Structure 1
């Protein structure tokens, strides 16, 4: 980490004293450490302590501008290779989750594009509070990284989860983050499909599925962060793509087919994470179908298989498919991989808790033509996406 600019944010909790050890170790390893403290944090440890350990000025007051040539919180945000929040209190986590910026630390966090590593620390009941857990899950979905708190004796006297991890554990997480290659897909063009499709029955009804698009959107963001020019072809999804991702919106399976075939020509990697309808109504009624009788028949025809068509036109492109299964997961995924001429297939059992549609987490196993490549336990879709993009990058480099 020699020469890396690491910003350490210290919030107002008793665990602030541990942050001094973290700053000391980061500095000893050659990092350029800049510390931002909240006003409450200064009640536990003085800024002078962190100044002596980091050998840099400690920022506390948003309006204290020592260098007129820069705006301090923007300068810190722009030049950080990594931001570590240790300790992260329930209050600061709430601010981050809701986009609030009312002091030096929270405004810097809003302005940065650097990865952020969060080490929560608080009373066990505060940590378990539904609102705090919801805020943590929201930050996880947004791509923030965590060093989970440990269980044990807390300063308040309770015993439970909420104690900030030791500096050595946080340091290990910092080293892992800094070792990641953010440009593993630099110069590549990645096409990702996401979300469901809607097949109209009449002007007010349609056939669809339970896909939320979260996995596909996470993959598009991870690809962009890895340096790829990224295009996201998305069915209807209540999600926002990152500004660096070009989004193409479609509704039906036919529209997704046309968009993918158009975009594939200039793509190096295609990741088919969308849940495309297998069948669509033969006819779409021009007017609302009125309710009459006890039964109604709807004739369906098969849609064009986008992944299969891509496999036929592969021409050196790296193709990744998804298999959402309810039984014989590995067997079905392997058959789909071979039939569609894919390089990798990501399979999950959607009946398992934490791996189904509209979840924030996933449990996946990745296969190639030789068999199982990687198995990931339950983790956030953001983290799954990061791991998959890393694997794709490795495979491309091997080529």
Structure 2
């Protein structure tokens, strides 16, 4: 993994000109240094390694990440500011292709052989003072300008898998040649145009009500993709009027299923309406609609939601379609919230810069999260340690402490040192 990351970092554009103090540091060292901070979940990791280098003549940034010379934090920011996050796209594509080749994506398939990709927007920076040319802006009621950075963060999800697979993000930022503010749907469309050809053959897209718009759904259909999108009454009045008409005519199919949770018996009531218009126009796209109500033993509705989809619906598959649609929540809980609250500090301002720095660092954080997920799946030593140190906080606290006081020759040396200390047999 580190070698592949290094190969991509070697292609990063170098915006320096002339000679100066920064010429002694390579772009590869700057990018690997930044990545190491996010991988170790330690803002002070590089400081400790600089100290170790002075005292011992070696350090873990070099032995574990291949950093030849560690630039200062300001130098890293200055060197990386001109690098667009586009430069990291090949890494995400390579990981996805490798997972598909390894058969890992089959574990995520549902609805036959479809892979679910959830789309959502996440904000990772906001300020009324710090800003750059890539900031989105909003004028507040008091006249102040709110500056922000956000991105669409697609992830592969499955109702049968606890983990998610982050894909390359698409950043919401002012676009060249346009006077309009960039927005979530436009960014999602750009992402699809760019990454669609690198995705598996059969993909079903999930999204909240914002995505349930005819132009976006038509584009998905043109690309041969499926969709299951949240569909709310307040934003789809025509569709719900048709559903009410179908209901009066007895053409809304109602299906009830009972499920025991281990604590209580729930009733799941599904309603299905076929071929209803997504909007009020002569060229309206016809979609299939379904609603779910989950009712407890006291008769209270504990959950209700509705979806529009291009899948044909019936008693044989409506529960699976709704289960897939409800999996959209994983992009918020298992991806965005993990990035914000589980040590990655996604919303922290590690460096804003004047051009691309904020977006590039955000992309590196997502990459670190992806690599951690891959290690837990494929590296036996890493997986054993995470099983023993089940608390993410404990695991990374141990990594930070060990790499501050000891220098390890390799990742394998570090992993085996930790396993030995926990009296866990080292796998052959």
Asked if these proteins are the same fold (TM beyond 0.5), I'd say no
Task: Return the TM-score normalized by structure 2.
Answer: 0.25
Task: Return the TM-score normalized by structure 1.
Answer: 0.26
Structure with bigger RCO (C-alpha 8 Å, 6+ apart): 2
Structure with greater helix percent: 2
